Structure 1
């Protein structure tokens, strides 16, 4: 009997491994591989396991998923994004749920089933969307921020849904309003109770566990907390996932958050895989083939309907067409928490198996389409933007004459507008190109020479007269587009002065190689401005300050790179390290030119002797005991250099 159970289990794992490897190559999410494994090994396939056999283990996956979600739940972050999270997010969830439920009721579903269907359709895939946005470096873009805000509220909305689902299971009896209020009250009381106890107990518990310095104990403690809080909420008549979410939320603000997340991830991923396998076992391909046309129509209705709702809401919130369209396409799929809702609804007998199968298939196909939709969302948004704002792309009638004094500004954010104001005061002619249609319209109405267009397109730059202009200033900070724009502008105008603003100096050399005349890193220039004010207040002559600042810029900010390391230093960056030479040091008595600095791959910044600091000492400097050498370089190289200097 034992071998009869282990053999199918091993075969199921092999199918899962092969499916994940295959779908990864096709660029599809691993969730689809788990669902395929469930179909093959479940009642619709080889019938190795029943869905009931997998249910208990699969439920643990949901518990750990909700615990991880709680760890990511940050009250300060939520408050900072409150307008879009609670405004846009709540509007999207409630409107999608209401329309979906109304359509379900129209097609003959009960009110309870309609609420479940609406809730499942209203949710999008947090895991897939965040992963894809991160891969494209779009998390900090406006459409990425809007998508994350909606996803954050959707994750938050799962909590009341987990409270309501057990209440809806009334065995055919009408659900009384007082039952809903009682259930919500009980859920709130459990939440407050867990928060009160956990706020005091959990930090002390993990302090004790951390003192033991045992990884095994930390992992066991994490699992015990997640499962025990889940068991408590189940005991009071709610779902285990709700308790796990509360525990994660309590520990999310603690110093152990990262360690907890790292420890729980392997268990979560494995058990979530089993959960999605159990969802795959729910699929009945007989029903799929019989009702394929309904599934196809439902898929189109869900993807188009969700996208349209998000788009209209964002336009109502004043977002431009491009951002609204990109966010709508990004959020058009059905999410992994929809599987949780559907699985619980089937367990509580709230939903017919046929409807559940159709919705699961819609979710699976929409998630399969998600990578393509997200990757092309910005491009589709741009095309919609251009069709709506085509009048902004017409050949401009420049209010200034194109001449060698003309300054072209790419980007009209705060930096671009500040530069334009100073140029206007000095009566220097300028033209601006920007991609935000709302900003362009406002500026044009105010009489500013601002035009809509993509700086990556040479034809638009040609219309602006880049080859005859005197200077180009690039003020946006999209690292991917910067090099492309600078290189293209340098090819179009070999003699043009090109100034580029960046956040830091990580791409300084690359931009200069692409053709930038000067790169101005915000963070380092801010440091220099502060230094200049400090020196000026200390009585240093202005001419000397300006000379020192110019020297720093000419030397690529070399003295702003090395810093003494601290407890939370980034060990990928160059650091300063002081090496004191004792009497027996190997290099005592040698000249600086005798040392293999190129092989050591560190830089000698200065030598300190007798309280005085000598920057860039001469090659014939004779090293003596008591000298302090200031070395700059990557931490491991500095460590090896110190060992060489002391021991040879």
Structure 2
């Protein structure tokens, strides 16, 4: 993730800002400060719209979804510098000007103020907000808690405005300051109902500031500028993605998602008008271009998926895992086997935005997963090289759901031998198979017949008019009896066959008698569900 946030993200912002800024200055003959604001403003993309589109389409954990999120994250960080820079390059400022020296002085001042702001965030978050919120939390008054959050946001915004900076920057810093406290989750929960409302109000305010007559009278100029923005920015972002090792199709999809403008462009252009950097008519034209481009984001995402389905070759070579496509994963899940069970696990992980990769040796299953924009690759999960290419050394767990007992055993053995840090959870055909899997190094083993059988039995019992409570009791008693028998079998075999829940299993008595300690010794094992 760091590679794409600070590598791809920073390169995208700087390159796009430079290209757009130079074009605005030399082609359209705009002053230097105006070109800087326009370049940086159009380099940004809409975090709110793009993330919503990715979430609705189920592409947040896909390759292009992760790269897009990384770039958006850096763009949100770059907004801070832009909001600090705008007042400093204003013609009304004592440091304002077009020359390089004036811009360098403005950037230097921005760096100093950024350091001061970060210091204030740390000091305020640790010294002031924690005791205040702790006292409010002890009173258990939700209204005062919410009112104090609004006070912090408005107060920080007023302080930054007094310092000659943007109020939007103050609101941004207030969010960082609140995030430093242990009350951040409650704050987020309190403001969640207002987030969509305020975002809608923001876009309504921007829309009301747009003159429809301006759209009609300058339609060719707006259409040409809009096309230039989407095509030029999209191609530039796609090329940068290819440089950072992203596949061609995924790079095109990232470019299409990031090509439109973003909501922070409205803030930047509006602030630039107040500072005398941009004219009202030029800012209105830019508002129209950015607003229309944001509205096109869902259609651009759909176009990217159409391109992927049309031009992505579905031969085995294109389905093989590539190390450069998984090197941004950290603490992810490896799903070995993309059959019915593996697909359900992948769906659950996708809904919770948990990163994962899946492996299967059937190309039709891999093609099916790729069609859903899931990170599914063709490869033998029992191969050390294949596991390395999907980042097994950085993974936290593996779910092994292969079709044959032998394949499951070989995969567990490979992970246990070459990647011992990965916790392996595997399904077993029967108890004997489960014991062998545990001996191969499995962390927990789940029988593939127990729970489906119990669910089927519960459905049959429901047709006999038994009460629901009695059915639940019968099923639980059978499960408990099965666990007791399984525990005895495992003790006899010297294992601790696991099915998900941790427990402590005592050592054999012969070992306990031979111990010098008077306390009973235990070893850690696992218990079935």
Q: TM-score range by the shorter chain?
A: 0.5 to 0.7
Match of 2:51 in 1: 130
Match of 2:236 in 1: 309
TM-aligned CA distance change 1:183 to 1:373, over 3 Å: closer
Match of 1:403 in 2: none
- Give the distance between the partners of 1:327 and 1:237, measured in 2 at CA: 36
Please show how residues 579-590 of structure 1 align to structure 2 within 5 Å.
none
1:261-280 Cα shifts (integer Å, max 9, x gaps): 12123334333333322212
Please show how residues 175-214 of structure 1 align to structure 2 within 5 Å.
175=97, 176=102, 177-214=104-141
What is the SS of the residue equivalent to 1:181?
Answer: helix
Task: Report deviation, 1:199.
Answer: 2.3
Q: Name stretches of at least 5 consecutive residues in structure 2 with no aligned partner.
A: 325-338, 340-359, 373-396, 421-429, 439-443, 455-465, 487-499, 501-529
Is 1:89 the equivalent of 2:9?
yes
- Give the distance between the partners of 1:482 and 1:321, measured in 2 at CA: 14
- Give the distance between the partners of 1:259 and 1:295, measured in 2 at CA: 44
Task: Report deviation, 1:254.
Answer: 3.8
Counterpart pick for 1:376 among 303, 309, 315: 303
Deviates more, 1:376-385 or 1:302-311: 376-385
TM-aligned CA distance change 1:263 to 1:378, over 3 Å: same
Match of 2:68 in 1: 147
Counterpart pick for 1:257 among 168, 184, 194: 184
Please show how residues 216-231 of structure 1 align to structure 2 within 5 Å.
216-231=143-158
Is 1:291 the equivalent of 2:218?
yes
- Give the distance between the partners of 2:468 and 2:51, measured in 1 at CA: 50
Task: Report deviation, 1:141.
Answer: 1.6
- Check whether the contact 1:503–1:521 (CA below 8 A) recurs between aligned residues: no
Is 1:281 the equivalent of 2:165?
no
- Give the distance between the partners of 1:243 and 1:277, measured in 2 at CA: 22
Match of 2:369 in 1: 481
Is 1:161 the equivalent of 2:49?
no
What is the SS of the residue equivalent to 1:283?
Answer: coil
Counterpart pick for 1:348 among 275, 293, 300: 275
1:417-448 Cα shifts (integer Å, max 9, x gaps): xxxxxxxxxxxxxxx554259679xxxxxxxx
TM-aligned CA distance change 1:179 to 1:172, over 3 Å: closer
What is the SS of the residue equivalent to 2:177?
Answer: helix
What is the SS of the residue equivalent to 1:351?
Answer: coil
What is the SS of the residue equivalent to 1:319?
Answer: coil
- Give the distance between the partners of 1:369 and 1:169, measured in 2 at CA: 32
Please show how residues 583-598 of structure 1 align to structure 2 within 5 Å.
597-598=470-471
Task: Report deviation, 1:298.
Answer: 0.2
TM-aligned CA distance change 1:605 to 1:131, over 3 Å: farther
- Give the distance between the partners of 2:468 and 2:281, measured in 1 at CA: 79
Is 1:331 the equivalent of 2:258?
yes
Please show how residues 25-174 of structure 1 align to structure 2 within 5 Å.
81-105=1-25, 106-171=27-92, 174=96
Structure ID, larger Rg: 1
Task: Report deviation, 1:127.
Answer: 0.9
Counterpart pick for 1:435 among 316, 319, 324: 319
- Give the distance between the partners of 2:53 and 2:73, measured in 1 at CA: 16
Match of 2:247 in 1: 320
- Give the distance between the partners of 1:256 and 1:478, measured in 2 at CA: 43
- Give the distance between the partners of 1:521 and 1:357, measured in 2 at CA: 62
- Check whether the contact 1:321–1:381 (CA below 8 A) recurs between aligned residues: no
- Check whether the contact 2:85–2:106 (CA below 8 A) recurs between aligned residues: no
What is the SS of the residue equivalent to 1:603?
Answer: helix
Number of equivalent positions: 394
TM-aligned CA distance change 1:329 to 1:145, over 3 Å: same
Task: Report deviation, 1:517.
Answer: 6.8
Task: Report deviation, 1:370.
Answer: 0.6
Please show how residues 339-488 of structure 1 align to structure 2 within 5 Å.
339-381=266-308, 383-386=310-313, 434-435=318-319, 473-474=361-362, 481=369
1:328-381 Cα shifts (integer Å, max 9, x gaps): 111111111111112212222321222212211111211121101113313314
Q: Name stretches of at least 5 consecutive residues in structure 1 with no aligned partner.
A: 1-80, 387-391, 394-431, 441-454, 456-471, 485-501, 534-542, 563-592, 617-631, 633-648
TM-score (norm 1): 0.53
- Give the distance between the partners of 1:600 and 1:482, measured in 2 at CA: 43
TM-score (norm 2): 0.64
Match of 1:245 in 2: 172
- Give the distance between the partners of 1:218 and 1:165, measured in 2 at CA: 34
- Give the distance between the partners of 2:290 and 2:261, measured in 1 at CA: 5
Match of 2:356 in 1: none
